[in-house]
Structure 1
Amino acid sequence: MSSTTAAAEVPASRTEADPERVARAEPCGHVGEVSVYGWGQAPPYLRTQTQLGGERLKLADGQQPLAYLRTRDYGDVPLYDLAGAVKMKPLGSKTKAAMRRRRTCPQCGKVRTYVVRRQCDVCNRRAQQARERKQARTCWDCRKVFPRPLPKEHHRCGGCRRKQLAELRRKAAEWVERVTVCAGEECSVKLVTKKEARAHQRQQSLHWGSWSRAAHWPLRCPPCTETEDRRQADQRARREQEERERQEAERQAARARVRWAAEALVDPDVVVLDTETTGLHGTARIVEIAVLSSSGEVLLDTLVDPSGPIPAEASQLHGITTEMVAGAPAFSRVLPDLERVLEGKRCLIYNDVYDLGRLRHELTLHHLDHAARASASTTTAGAGAVAEEVREQALAAARTRAAAWVDALHVEDVMGPYSDWVGDWNDYWGNNEWQALRGGHRAAGDCRAVLDCLRAMKRSGEHEGGEGDLDEGEAL
């Protein structure tokens, strides 16, 4: 409020301003023409709406804030004149009873000034004190509760304390025996007297058996020290030799990977295969298959009709939609061409486990379809049990033929060697991270990306001088 307003409210008989209506500090800002005060600086007669409610008052119609209180969490809170507020309507008996029940402690039955959840603060303190008193009367070892508090030094009953002292004496005697004798194997040379060891033990004033030996006490006698030094030197030499052998084995494996990649790029019997499917689940169907030679020549690149719609999430990944495969050949029609380009070849696949699984699934469906057509003329529709038995036999035979077809392939995985060549180690898995194939998620593009991986591996060997025997005509 302005000083003019405050002065106008002072009675004419008084010469000084009413301290209840004078701010304790200058305003820190304004909201329009209304002053904003910091915490504890507003005139004392002003109240927030919540404070008015605590006094069973509410704002009068049209009552405007006379000031604002600036807070960190709630912004500028309006302040109102206490004298301008009106009394609230009295609460009903049911409301008062409900409020009283919420403020009544279920333990002691007393009514508090706050809402009681489980028990009031007084009962909480009493319960905590009762727990502390019980803990003071409980033995730490046998957990038996006694009528009187146990000694604070050890919190144990007489029997447990005697056991503790006996165990402490046993540990003390063992420690003295251990530090006074040479630590060498089958050596009984005395290095420190027991009297000196016990004196050092008493000086430490430790009661739980964790004594430490003096810094000037020898651990072993001179002959045992020499033996231990030789043993540690032999261990260090053995570890160094093992580390050298491990590093040499890694270098040999790296050179072998580079040599394998360089030979695959010039081998005319090498082909690269990749598939695109309707998903990553176990029954996903092939929607595209491609086979390229080691020189990049396209031997097979075709869409495949999966005999069903392609899920939207799969289409978003590789861009092949259901409309695109409409009219494309089924896998059974593509199979003869696939067998022709793979016959007698080394088949390179990036993550061969997945692609071989999809080929095995398609081959199973192919052979199962042939078996179903062959048995249709001999099995009637009414013979349910016979038909089911025939279907089970046909499925087992189809899986066997599909597995035999896949096993006959000469497949080599590229993802493992390439990931090891990149060497992105993962401490969690304890292995190198699998590298993503940057081929655009189309079958032919992924095959070209596999060839790019092989070329990168080959070039690294040439730069390091490990594959100097390769002529310039082999470099791609």
Structure 2
Amino acid sequence: MSTSTAAAAIPAVRTEPAPDRVARGKPLAHLDGVPVYGWRGAPSYLRTKTQLASDRLHVTEAQEAAPLAYVRTRDYGDVPLHDPAAAVKMRPLPSSTKAKMAARRTCPECGKVRKVILRGPCSVCRERAEKQRQRERARTCAGCGTVREQPYPKHRRCRSCRQEQLEAKRARVAAWLAEVTVCAGDGCTKRRGSKKAARAWLKERDWLLCPERTDLPDSSWNTPDWSPRCTPCQKAYDAEQERRRAECQAWYERQERERRERERREAEERVRWAAAALADPDVVVLDTETTGLDDDARIVELAVVSSSGEVLLDTLLNPGEPVPDDAAALHGITTARVAGAPAFSDVLVQLTSLLDGKRCLIYNRWYDVGVLRHELTLHYLDRAAREAAETVRLEKVQPGTVAGDLRERAMAAARLQAEAWLDAMTFEDVMIPYSDWVGEYSEYHGNNRWQPLNGGHRAAEDCHAVLGCLRAMADSAATDAVADGGDMTATGGGPWSKSA
């Protein structure tokens, strides 16, 4: 082939792309059809928004909506890349803005403009001030504060202060030498070592040779290498220590015996209490099912069972509000089931007659008494509100002029009446003694774990489950616990009998 033919075969314009527009790696993925490259894998001419901003370029809305590629980062995810040729140059900042930015970077000490925002003097001024403080500190006496032209030695004291320091050091060394060379026994003055050996021990550790050192060996060190007491005093000391150890051991053993005896008596007391509760005809068991676990939960079912297992009261109650789904899933009582049920106020008279003069046992007394307190407050609040409205009517007060604290006064009166009702009853908790009887100790809480009732989440079933707990406690020991003086029906209950 001739030279002219070869030249004709070569095109006049090269079609290969520029090297900076060729991707340096394969895409890791595609996001809406746009390739996502790894680090340093995208074309080199593409830039992020931060890089464009450093070059005083602004990304247009079209570029923002359609990036040319993405780069995948560990901290920021997939970052979009744009073409700098299509970016718009930023407008120059106003002179006032530039002046404010320069003022934030100006050092108040030297007046120079730094590259970063300053919150006080710049680093150069701070280093200069620190060096000046160190020079002034080196020229200031640490004792009296006298300042001189030349720096002080390493001890940083003038002549008089240094003499006082050395005298104090000599006094401490003399006291320490007397301490380590005289028997430490009470009233004993026997020598147990020489001061010469003690000074040699100090010199080996530079306590006397180093002039600026003013401290002394720690008393916990074995200094010097002889016993702190003479032989007779050491024997007496060892005997005293042995006597004290024996006394401490005897005290701990006595405390352990008392603890075990106390636990045994408490266990017997729990068994007698459970047996007496089962045999007492004045004992009833109460349980409630509610709309939740909050303080303002309403009762949807109430049951009272005697100690013999007879059901005295078992009724659904209309709370006056929808039953939450999570509560209904637990006990199965829905809003439709309580739609025609009586309200709490309708069964309050019957409940009062059943609990009056009785010992009422409850599993987790604090919760059930709390929901009873809330229901009683609402019951007496309605009555107090009616009484207040009747008072307003009789006094011929305009409705719009009634004092704003009328409901607060009614609420206070209702709370007092609810507390009076609860104080007239006797409630005893079963959960604490039963959990202590089971004895599942928790290292985290430092006490026995509270045991679940496992009664089926219906009021009557839970009452019978409480009776089952009492029977399990009573059957765990000899049945003559009650006959031996453990009948607690005359005293009104055990240590868990507390008013609300």
TM-score class, shorter-chain normalisation, is 0.5 to 0.7
| 1:218 maps to which of 221, 227, 233 | 227
The answer on whether the counterparts of 1:137 and 1:145 sit within 8 Å (CA) in structure 2 is no
Match of 2:467 in 1: 451
1:106 match: secondary structure: coil
Match of 2:394 in 1: 381
| 1:243 maps to which of 253, 256, 264 | 256
Change (3 A) 1:86 1:334: closer
The answer on whether the counterparts of 1:277 and 1:284 sit within 8 Å (CA) in structure 2 is yes
* Deviation, structure 1 residue 142: 8.8
Give 5+ residue unaligned stretches, structure 1: 1-7, 13-19, 471-476
Q: Deviations over 1:336-384 (max 9, x none)?
A: 4334544664422123244345546666777888899999999972198
Change (3 A) 1:59 1:246: closer
* Deviation, structure 1 residue 413: 1.5
2:286 match: secondary structure: strand
Change (3 A) 1:186 1:38: same
The answer on whether the counterparts of 1:350 and 1:415 sit within 8 Å (CA) in structure 2 is yes
| 2:429 maps to which of 408, 413, 423 | 413
Give 5+ residue unaligned stretches, structure 2: 1-9, 208-213, 482-500
* Deviation, structure 1 residue 90: 7.0
Q: Deviations over 1:267-325 (max 9, x none)?
A: 5554321234566676766543211234544221123455x536759956766566654
* Deviation, structure 1 residue 260: 3.8
Q: Could you tell me which amino acid in structure 2 is paired with residue 230 of structure 1?
A: R
Q: Could you tell me which amino acid in structure 1 is paired with residue 92 of structure 2?
A: G
Match of 1:474 in 2: none
Percent identity, please: 45
Q: Deviations over 1:379-404 (max 9, x none)?
A: 9721989xx9x989987984685255
The 10-residue stretch of structure 1 (258-267 or 214-223) with the greater mean CA deviation from structure 2: 258-267
| 1:402 maps to which of 417, 421, 424 | 421
Matched length? 431
The answer on whether the counterparts of 2:141 and 2:152 sit within 8 Å (CA) in structure 1 is no
Change (3 A) 1:455 1:199: farther
Counterparts of residues 178-327 of structure 1 (less than 5 Å): 178-184=179-185, 189-205=190-206, 207-211=214-218, 212-214=221-223, 216-220=225-229, 221-261=234-274, 264-265=277-278, 269-277=282-290, 286-305=299-318, 308-309=320-321, 312=324, 324-327=337-340
* Deviation, structure 1 residue 235: 1.3
**Partners of 2:261 and 2:38 in 1: how far apart?**
77
Match of 2:3 in 1: none
| 2:368 maps to which of 330, 355, 365 | 355
The answer on whether the counterparts of 1:56 and 1:87 sit within 8 Å (CA) in structure 2 is no
Change (3 A) 1:245 1:365: same
The answer on whether the counterparts of 1:100 and 1:111 sit within 8 Å (CA) in structure 2 is no
**Partners of 1:93 and 1:394 in 2: how far apart?**
70
Higher-RCO chain (CA-CA 8 Å, sequence separation at least 6): 2
Q: Deviations over 1:403-453 (max 9, x none)?
A: 5522xx3x3211221333344556676544444544455433432443344
TM-score of the pair, normalised by structure 1:
0.63
* Deviation, structure 1 residue 86: 7.8
Counterparts of residues 6-405 of structure 1 (less than 5 Å): 29-30=26-27, 48-49=47-48, 54=54, 72-73=74-75, 85=85, 89=89, 91-92=91-92, 94=94, 98-99=97-98, 101-103=100-102, 105-107=105-107, 108-112=110-114, 114-116=115-117, 118=119, 123-131=122-130, 133-134=132-133, 137=136, 172=173, 175-184=176-185, 189-205=190-206, 207-211=214-218, 212-214=221-223, 216-220=225-229, 221-261=234-274, 264-265=277-278, 269-277=282-290, 286-305=299-318, 308-309=320-321, 312=324, 324-342=337-355, 345-359=358-372, 381-382=394-395, 398=417, 401-402=420-421, 404-405=423-424
The answer on whether the counterparts of 1:27 and 1:35 sit within 8 Å (CA) in structure 2 is no
Alignment root-mean-square deviation, CA:
5.8
Q: Deviations over 1:72-102 (max 9, x none)?
A: 5567889999xx95896474352x7635642
**Partners of 1:192 and 1:428 in 2: how far apart?**
54
Change (3 A) 1:329 1:57: closer
The answer on whether the counterparts of 2:381 and 2:411 sit within 8 Å (CA) in structure 1 is no
Q: Deviations over 1:138-176 (max 9, x none)?
A: 589899796879769567788987777676666555544
**Partners of 2:146 and 2:338 in 1: how far apart?**
80
TM-score of the pair, normalised by structure 2:
0.61
